[in-house]
Structure 1
Amino acid sequence: MTPPPDAGAERVFEINGVSLGLPEGLANASIIDKLADGSYEADEARAVDRCVRPGLRVLELGAGLGYVGTLAALKSEPENILSVEANPELLPVIRANHARNGVEEVSLMHGAVVGHAEEGATARFHIAGGFTGSRLGARGGRQVEVPLIGFHELIRAQRPHVVLMDVEGAEAGYFDRAWKCPLRFCVMEIHPKQYDAAVIKKIVDRMSAMDMTYDPVTSRGKILGFRKVWSEGV
């Protein structure tokens, strides 16, 4: 069982003008190397640069260290950003990094986002070593109980123009019906090891039904981006 990180010591990294504090023991060597060379969440950062503009509301699912949410807040306004993170150990790190970069007004919500959740529902959440790869449904390792958040209720409340998600396979449950929001861009990391091609087709078909099309600028590898198809004259 991996012990929780030591909150008493941290390293600080600078990426794209964002300062990120990392508590000792929280991340594995691979993440630390990417933080050091500036490649940490590079595709997600590129997506923020492409998609986020002043005044746009952003929903971020899977906040990590708070890097992408900070970038989005600096491009729009902090009060327009809602970040959701399931791993409770990351919450104080995210808040500290938001404050470190002057975007403490970003809304941060704790919970695992699923397609549908009853009020007060919880589930066991697996915390992976190095924090990336933590997810619902995995067996073994360190497990914590986390609140469940219904995706469509979250969409209706935030009404985002931009949705950014990295939720380790949970995205498969978000595409059962149309999203009630003024969506312009959606960028997600897909997880084909956790579901088959039929689920990816369902994601693409749902996006198409919502007048969203493949965005080659934000897509790369497992990062799949979509943008709104605007009607003529809009």
Structure 2
Amino acid sequence: MTDESQPRDPFVISKGMKFPKDGHFITGKLRAALRENRYEAKEAQCILKLVRDEDTVIELGAGIGFMSTLVATRRKLKNVFAFEANPALIPYIQAVHEANELTNAHVTHGILGKRNGSTNFYVRSNLLSSSMEPIEGDTPENTEEVKVDVLNASHVFKEIKPTILIADIEGAEAHLLPYLDLTGLRGAMIELHPQYIGPEGVNAVFRAMMDAGLAYYSRGSTHKVVCFRRAW
């Protein structure tokens, strides 16, 4: 028998990190993947081969705050700046950072683009399936259309001066990365979405990295998760 007087652990533990047990976010397969250290496993393998103490990391597409928390707990970073379009995820990411006692992890609600402005974002009842594009089956009952700020990416990069880039932005990588000055980066981890960007988009991402002096790093790359480093 269990002792009902004992408080339950309020966190799911993954790779030594704490994730608050919030039923809106951490459910079913996601909870199991966290507990079994399978969640973002390829991405974790890649980024830990790139990031070093004193790096400044920028993350585009913060999700539940897993990657920003991982790099901030495994390395003595200057800062990690995470950007997330889904407004519903922002309080949860902040709670994850707080639970792991991070003072150098920052999250901003917004996306990066070529110029300041706003765009539509579709928040769904399954929050992790929310996206910038409407999909078949969206209804007023399961989807809320909200406006999200678009921040000038060039200005953000100049202000933050990142040395490491993490990007999982659902196909926008093919349009955004070639536009940016990436020469200040020492490394980058990009999750490609070839189903959206096609071979031309994949080539555009690789070309942007090459133009910035970054080379494909096979030891950290797995399938669609690709690593780039300035030096091996």
Q: State the TM bucket, normalised to the shorter chain.
A: 0.7 to 0.9
TM-score (norm: length of structure 1): 0.84
User: Which residue does the alignment assign to 2:149?
Assistant: 147
Deviation readout 1:122-143 (Å, 9 max, x if unpaired) = 1111234543343223343332
Change (3 A) 1:166 1:11: farther
Where 1:182 maps in the other structure, the secondary structure is: coil
3-state SS of 1:200 partner = helix
Q: Displacement of 1:96 after TM fit? A: 0.9
**Which structure: larger Rg?**
2
Give per-residue Cα distances to partners, 1:38-86, cap 9 Å, x unaligned: 2111122222321111101100111111121111112344651111111
Secondary structure at 2:219's aligned position in 1? coil
- Indicate the residue corresponding to 1:198 in structure 2: 200
Q: Cα distance, 1:27 vs. partner?
A: 4.6
Structure 1: runs of 5 or more not aligned: 1-9
Equivalent runs, 1:27-176 vs 2, <5 Å: 27=26, 29-77=28-76, 79-114=78-113, 116-118=114-116, 121-139=117-135, 140=138, 141-176=143-178
The unaligned stretches of length 5 or more in structure 2 are 1-8
Distance in 2, matches of 1:22 and 1:204, equals 38
- Which residue number corresponds to residue 7 of structure 1? none
TM-aligned CA deviation for residue 98 of structure 1: 0.5
Task: State the 4+ residue runs in structure 1 displaced beyond 4 angstroms.
Answer: none
1:15 aligns with 2:14: yes
Match of 1:3 in 2: none
Distance apart, 1:215 and its partner CA: 0.8
- Between Structure 1 and Structure 2, how many residues are aligned? 218
Q: Which moved more, 1:212-221 or 1:26-35?
A: 26-35
Letter paired with 2:16: G
How far apart, CA to CA, are the structure 1 residues paired with 2:223 and 2:174?
18
Percent identical residues: 25
Specify the SS of the correspondent of 2:120: strand
Compared with structure 1, are the counterparts of its residues 53 and 227 closer, same or farther at alpha carbon in structure 2 (3 Å cutoff)? same
In terms of mean alpha carbon deviation, does 73-82 or 146-155 score higher? 73-82
Structure 1 vs Structure 2 CA RMSD: 2.1
CA distance 1:15–1:21, change in 2 (3 Å): same
* Inter-partner Cα distance in structure 2 for 1:130 and 1:11: 22
Q: Structure 2 CA distance, aligned partners of 1:211 and 1:111?
A: 28
CA distance 1:178–1:26, shift in 2 (3 Å) = closer
Q: Match of 1:4?
A: none
Q: Is 133-142 or 189-198 further displaced after alignment?
A: 133-142
